[in-house]
Amino acid sequence: MTGPAATAAPAGGPAAAPRAVTARPRLAAALELAAPLAAVALALLAGAVLIALAGEDPLAIYGSILHACLGTGYGFGQMLFKATPLVFTGLAVAVGFRAGLFNIGAEGQLYLGGFAAALAAVALAGAPGPVQLVGALLAAAAAGAAWATIPGVLKARFGAHEVINTIMLNFIAMQLVAFLGRYAYQPGTVRTATIPAGAVIPRLDVWFPALHGSPANLSLLLGLGLALATAWLLFGSRLGYAIRAVGLNPAAAEYGGIAIGSTHTAALALSGALAGLGGVNFVLGYKQFFEQGFSAGAGFLGIAVALIGRNQPLGVIVAALFFGGLSYGGLVINDRVPRELVEMLTALVILFAITLQQVMTRAARKLR
């Protein structure tokens, strides 16, 4: 994509001049697209310094991560498993961003989604298998959507900023689940009962023996399907148009007849539903019960995923695989370099990405 624009840029004689005029905006667009890639490269470079400081060979460490994720079927499955919730939370954050909203609450929404899925599945134990599964999925989506609707309504009705409210709701979700757990957990544990067989999401190694032993499951397919659906919703539906219009320019959108408040609320509900469904990967696809504290940052990582995926559903999938691979890779290198290296790499990617985005946008503006 960047190739033709870049090679067409050098302008020689008068004949080349018109080509150069069309090439500059394309070069500008390429610059903006390059920001996430450059951010990843710079973060890996900074990470290499940290690895060297720990007395290890950066190339060997990065090689190990790469080999762990792509070299064996089991590792590949682990990467897919780690990437799965990130597809959901990445989409959730991206939908919010498109509406000009920052949903930091994906963490709490995913957590509640997983909890609701387990409770629904257990409650539906007597129902036919498909009803158990559909019921559990719907419960996850509904719980996430309901939780995200709270900041939506507070913003629409009282103008309260969603960033603080979603952060607060993350903490409240943890306490709420701990409180409800008094009644829902198995005695003496911090987990629910095991879900009935009908609600279990099958593992991928049933069809792909190469992935044997890895917990990757069909939730991934659900995530990919939702990425397609989100792409359609954002770019092919009336609601998606409203969401993007409000995100780009609220005043103009309102002048065009779009209600800002209800669009914000709808976008957050949708975002919450996506995040809530992200909880099923672990609960229905892996452990087959809800366990306190299972979310472990998947919601926060969704922010990095959306950022690097440039809020595009396809970009989100690619970014989810990258961060999923990193988080599995951290476990593999832990005996040589502390696995927290991966956390730092993620943070550096985020910081470089937002900085470069500014730098590149600025450069692009000058080119245009």
Binding site for another protein (CB under 8 A): 50, 53-54, 102, 104, 154, 157-158, 160-161, 163-165, 167-169, 171-172, 175-176, 178-179, 182, 300, 303, 307, 338, 340-344, 346-348, 350-351, 354-355, 357-359
- Residue 353: in which H helix or E strand, if any? helix 340-367
- Helix (DSSP H) and strand (DSSP E) numbers for the chain: 15, 0
CB of 187 to another protein, least distance (A): 17
- Which lies closer to another protein via its Cβ, residue 160 or residue 197? 160
Strand partners for 217: 203
- Which lies closer to another protein via its Cβ, residue 221 or residue 359? 359
- Which lies closer to another protein via its Cβ, residue 8 or residue 344? 344
Number of residues in the chain: 368
CB of 332 to another protein, least distance (A): 16
- Which lies closer to another protein via its Cβ, residue 238 or residue 366? 366
- Which lies closer to another protein via its Cβ, residue 76 or residue 290? 290
CB of 331 to another protein, least distance (A): 13
Strand, coil or helix: what is 218?
coil
CB of 175 to another protein, least distance (A): 4
CB of 198 to another protein, least distance (A): 32
CA of 59: how far to CAs of 42, 66, 69, 343, 344, in Å? 15, 10, 15, 18, 17
CB contact at 8 A, 231 and 87:
no
CA–CA separation, 155 and 162 (whole Å): 6
Return the structure tokens found at 301: 């990582």
CB of 234 to another protein, least distance (A): 21
CA–CA separation, 162 and 156 (whole Å): 10
- Which lies closer to another protein via its Cβ, residue 31 or residue 218? 31
CA–CA separation, 103 and 97 (whole Å): 8
